[in-house]
Amino acid sequence: MLSSIIADFRIIFDRDPAARNWLEVLFCYPGLQAITLHRVAHRIYNLGIPFFPRLISHVARFFTGIEIHPGAKIGTGVFIDHGMGVVIGETAEVGDYSLIYQGVTLGGTGKESGKRHPTLGKNVVVGAGAKVLGNLNIGNNVRIGAGSVVLRDVPSDCTVVGIPGRIVYQSGVRVDPLEHGNLPDSEAKVIRLLLDRIDALEQQVQALQEEKLKERELVATGVSKTTANSDYNETHSCYLKDKEIEEFLGGTM
């Protein structure tokens, strides 16, 4: 247990640029305090002693705003940054060197017994306000975007964004866990594809209308259709795009 606490302490200096000295980290980082108290409570919980593990958990929540059930399994070097509002359920498992931000819930979806909370692999990053619900398996090196709601298993080396969470693969791309601004916006990409498709269809319709009009004019003047096709030049139409959609897409261009 002591080696895990030391690893929890050291990882803060790697993950948080605001960590300046050991005294500040020891007394002013609620994530470290909550995990340290949890390790004590978890040890007592595994011994089968009632009441006291939950009491320690309750005291930790009172002082840190972080609620970790004594039955949860927390790996080595886990860092809960800021941490206010974090809830980790009884059967949840958090892998080594994972990073969890404020407002995160690793919870269940009902009153079922047994394993009902998620299992996080190693080096997982869970963004602020994200919810991972149910008996899910989250692979290694997964990044869950802020505010996402994850309801399905996630394979390793993926990024999850949105409500409900959508998986975006990043094969072969190593991403810094602190680069939260480097998350893809799958909804904006889909909207862009739809707009491009609409634009292409409008161009086709415009071209067909112009060709039809030219055919009518040439028939009226007695000019053959072959000549009309040789003189035809395709034109591109422009349509007015909604201002709000343009602003929404602006961040992904």
pLDDT at residue 170, as a whole number: 59
Cβ atoms of residues 161 and 148 within 8 Å: yes
CATH of 2-169, one of 2.160.10.10, 3.40.50.880, 3.30.470.20, 3.90.1300.10: 2.160.10.10
Q: Is 36 left (phi over 0), alpha (psi -120 to 50) or beta?
A: alpha
pLDDT at residue 34, as a whole number: 94
pLDDT at residue 244, as a whole number: 53
pLDDT at residue 252, as a whole number: 45
pLDDT at residue 239, as a whole number: 43
Residue 73's SS3 state is strand
pLDDT at residue 228, as a whole number: 43
For residue 131, report the phi and psi dihedrals to the nearest 5 degrees: -125, 125
pLDDT at residue 180, as a whole number: 58
For the record, the structure tokens of 212 come out as 């039809």
Distance CA 93, CA 198 (A): 46
Burial 147-180 (b: 16+ CB within 10 A, else e): ebbbeeebeebbbbbbeebbbbeeeeeeeebeee
Cβ atoms of residues 165 and 150 within 8 Å: yes
Per-run averaged pLDDT (10 residues), the chain, 253 residues = 83 85 88 94 94 94 94 93 92 93 90 87 93 93 90 89 77 54 61 76 84 80 52 43 52 43
pTM tops 0.85, yes or no: no
pLDDT at residue 58, as a whole number: 94
The CA radius of gyration of the chain, in Å to the nearest whole number, is: 28
